[in-house]
Amino acid sequence: MADVKKLYLKTYGCQMNVYDSERMAEAMGAEGYVTTEVLEEADMVLLNTCHIREKASEKLYSDLGRLKPLKAGKPDLKIGVAGCVAQAEGDEILRRMPLVDLVVGPQAYHRLPEMVRRQGQSVDTEFPAEDKFDHLPQRKGKRGPTAFLTVQEGCDKFCAFCVVPYTRGAEVSRPAARLLAEARDLVERGVREITLLGQNVNAWHGEGPGPRGLGDLIRALAAIPGLDRIRYTTSHPNDMADDLISAHGEVPQLMPYLHLPVQSGSDRILMAMNRKHTAAQYLDLVARIRAARPDILLTSDFIVGFPGETDADFEATMALVRAVGYGAAFSFKYSARPGTPAAEKAPVDEAVADARLQALQALITEQQRAAQAAMVGREISVLYEKPGRMPGQMVGKSEHLMAVFLDDAQGRVGDLVRARVLAAAPNSLSARRLPG
């Protein structure tokens, strides 16, 4: 019997990349590869990159540099780079790092097995006409209780700070029938919670008969027996349609959690960012969402130190955060992305940007801890995702995507239980399982 080939796959960044990595592993599985968590065992190393966060390229080249001794000792080792950095810097990666065998963009990874079979270096960063999902192998095997499902890719918004439109391409929605079929298959294999993914997930739209907007799609998914929870991320405020807002109040399976990035509370900076909404419009949207689902927990993204941001602009952001009251948020100091419009503008002084980021994060942390503390004494549902570190302990997520720890020796991964919250830690809850 031939030796099994082993794939070591490292995923950087967002949930979209997690989903893409799963699909790439499945594609390579059809070629006889099994995944390994031990780098030294690998016959192939694949780095699935993200270009959103600061110094993404530098992190990639640093990781590739650490692979040089491994490649020297195993000349037949295949090394590949996938994802958004691959899309943005394809040929440059091969030039700088001759140890890399292949570079594949996020829209071409269905051709990964074909590339692996080639001799020499190869790059595929095209935006193919065919749907990559049609060419991926059918997903197999038992699954855990949660899964990601990509429904939409790409972005047409062209925010001044963002590379996604250039690395992921234009907005494309997957057909509803295929999404529903994939969701049914996931549920049959043990999944109880599905998170719908997209660069602008709420821009998803169907054609022909069937669901037309994301709200309709969520309603159709909710009709699948055994699918107990539905989430979606990441949303753009401009695509928050009425049917989606109403779904939050009408579909029990849609969890009371929404990640709704705003980036800034200053209208002047929002205009410079090309966000195409104002702070007042965002606050009105939040009010409408909370009217539909009063217990919803909101999270967001913020950039501080965007070129031209003044003290008054930053204070407008702080005022918006105080007005909304977030359960959590991701906040970053602006860093230029080559090729984006904002990269051509003068940055804010580094020390000023640092101070603003610290002040914003302190306020967000205060709000997050208040949201956690408000859960104490409440009854929640928890989906068990894994055993805890302590004997008899289970760890899961609440409806609001908070980590929950319970002592439950009889609990099993995949159980959906009712619990009473006993205490709140900075990033988690402890609870007691209720009878029934």
SS3 of the chain: CCCCEEEEEEECCCHHHHHHHHHHHHHHHCCCEEECCCHHHCCEEEEEECCCCCCHHHHHHHHHHHCHHHHHHCCCCEEEEEEHHHHHHHHHHHHHCCCCCEEECCCCHHHHHHHHHCCCCEEECCCCCCCHHHHCCCCCCCCCCEEEEECEECCCCCCCCCCHHHHCCCCEECCHHHHHHHHHHHHHCCCCEEEEECCCHHHCECCCCCCCEHHHHHHHHHCCCCCCEEEEECCCHHHCCHHHHHHHHHCCCECCEEECCCECCCHHHHHHCCCCCCHHHHHHHHHHHHHHCCCCEEEEEEEECCCCCCHHHHHHHHHHHHHHCCCEEEEEECCCCCCCHHHHCCCCCHHHHHHHHHHHHHHHHHHHHHHHHCCCCCEEEEEEEEECCCCCEEEEEECCCCEEEEECCCCCCCCEEEEEEEEECCCEEEEEECCC
**What pLDDT does 1 receive?**
38
Q: How far apart are the first and last CA of the chain?
A: 50
**What pLDDT does 128 receive?**
62
Give buried/exposed letters for 296-331 (b at 16+ CB in 10 A, else e).
bbbbbebbbbbbebeeebbebbbebbeebebbbbeb
pTM, to two decimals = 0.84
Tens of pLDDT along the chain (436 residues)?
A: 356 899 999 998 778 888 889 889 888 988 889 999 999 999 999 999 887 665 677 888 899 999 999 999 999 999 999 988 888 888 889 989 999 999 998 878 888 888 988 888 888 887 665 565 665 666 667 889 999 999 998 899 999 998 888 878 889 899 999 999 999 999 999 999 999 999 999 999 998 778 899 999 999 999 999 999 999 999 999 999 999 999 999 999 999 999 999 999 999 999 999 999 999 999 999 999 999 999 999 999 999 999 999 999 999 999 999 999 999 999 999 988 878 899 889 989 999 999 999 999 999 999 999 999 999 999 999 999 999 999 999 999 999 999 999 999 999 999 999 999 999 998 999 999 999 7
Q: Which two tokens stand for residue 237?
A: 């405020």
Residues 297-339 pLDDT 10s: 999 999 999 999 999 999 999 999 999 999 999 999 998 887 8
**C-beta of residue 171 within 8 angstroms of C-beta of residue 152:** yes
**C-beta of residue 394 within 8 angstroms of C-beta of residue 387:** yes
Residues 408-432 pLDDT 10s: 999 999 999 999 999 999 899 999 9
**What pLDDT does 305 receive?**
97
130, 354, 320: which is closest to 237 by C-alpha? 320
Q: Which domains does the chain have, with CATH numbers?
A: 5-124 (3.40.50.12160), 140-253 (3.30.750.210), 256-371 (3.30.750.200), 379-433 (2.40.50.140)
SS3 of 89-158: HHHHHHHHCCCCCEEECCCCHHHHHHHHHCCCCEEECCCCCCCHHHHCCCCCCCCCCEEEEECEECCCCC
CA 206 to chain centre: 22
259, 226, 284: which is closest to 400 by C-alpha? 259
Question: Which residues, 6 or more positions from 128, have their beta carbon under 8 angstroms from its beta carbon?
Answer: 107, 108, 111
**C-beta of residue 182 within 8 angstroms of C-beta of residue 151:** no
**What pLDDT does 425 receive?**
93
**What pLDDT does 89 receive?**
85
